[in-house]
Amino acid sequence: MRFAFIGAGGVGGYYGAMLARSGQDVTVIARGAHLDAIRQHGLRIVGPMGDFAVRMGAESDPAHVGAVDVVILTVKTYDNATALPLIPPLVGPQTVVLTIQNGVDSADEVAAVVGERQTIAGSTYIATGIESPGVIRQTGTHRRIVFGECFGSTTAISERVAAIEPVLRAADIDATAVADARQAIWEKFTYLAPMAAFTGASRLPMGPIWSDAFIRSTFLDAVAEVARVAVAHGFVLPADHLERTHRYCERLPPDTRSSLLIDLSLGKRIEVEALQGSVVRRGRATGVPTPVMAALYAVLKPWADGPNPAAVS
């Protein structure tokens, strides 16, 4: 298959490199020093699962690539204004566009550009980041993608989704095809939005948050708020969803940081609108109160575009 990745950062660069190493035709759409390094030396992956380097296509202009089989959108949601217009030159009649971005709004945003028929979606579980131009560091062993159709009523895995799954698996990506990706996306969202909010607002990893009984209880209140928003949008979550989240958080390494906290600490833009902002807006639209998430959204919102010049050091 021919793959094109919109973004060659921690997520897109890692998955693109894995697919290229397995023999797939991969091109990443990138920019700046990272693009130059990939063109000159290839892309290098370093981490607990072993180090390797691979050559792949790298372009700044998708018009130089043309139509591919699968476009995978991996950039942070705050870059969508510039990233989404890069997709159409890569799309032919049979192309599918898979978004694995954070949040629950991405599929609609992609469909607004290429149409619902060519849009599929999913969630990814991975800990990676750009260490230096041309180098991606993986800090864990997760490399999971759950993906499927995201529009209309579907009870069976579609042929096009089923065709992609073994290609990803052959690249040592833990891929799971599902009939309807929206359920998996919302289940991740109910945990991710609060986790990013609490770690970001406190500037602390999960250890200190989870070890404090009051904060832990309030964290679970926030998870319940997002779960009620999910139900209001027609998604039935497992009856033991809150208990499962509790068990998952207990097993997290104490130094676990959300990508929002990492971006915040590096002075980058943060995905507050796609995460906390989306919860609050969707809650208001459906009449679901979200007091904990709204308070955390208010705390993080001034940092949406990076360091706030009004901050007092």
Full set of structural domains in the chain with CATH: 2-172 (3.40.50.720), 184-303 (1.10.1040.10)
Structure pTM?
0.93
CA 241/CA 227 separation, integer angstroms = 9
- For residue 155, what pLDDT is reported? 85
**CB contact at 8 A, 100 and 72:** yes
Share of the chain above pLDDT 90, in %: 88
pLDDT-derived band at 312 (thresholds 50, 70, 90) equals low
Residue 269, Cβ density class (10 Å: 0-12 exposed, 13-18 middle, ≥19 buried): middle
Residues in a beta bridge with 6: 29, 73
- For residue 127, what pLDDT is reported? 87
- For residue 310, what pLDDT is reported? 76
- For residue 140, what pLDDT is reported? 82
pLDDT greater than 60 at residue 10 = yes
Residues in a beta bridge with 96: 70
In 85-212, alpha helices (H): 106-114, 159-170, 181-202, 206-211
pLDDT greater than 90 at residue 152 = no
- For residue 205, what pLDDT is reported? 94
pLDDT, averaged across the chain: 95
CA 55/CA 42 separation, integer angstroms = 4
* pLDDT tens digits, 23-71: 999 999 999 999 999 999 999 999 999 999 999 999 999 999 999 999 9
CA 116/CA 181 separation, integer angstroms = 14
CA 158/CA 113 separation, integer angstroms = 22
3-state secondary structure (DSSP) of residue 27: strand
* pLDDT tens digits, 201-258: 999 999 999 999 999 999 999 999 999 999 999 988 888 999 999 999 999 889 998 9
pLDDT greater than 70 at residue 313 = no
- For residue 80, what pLDDT is reported? 96
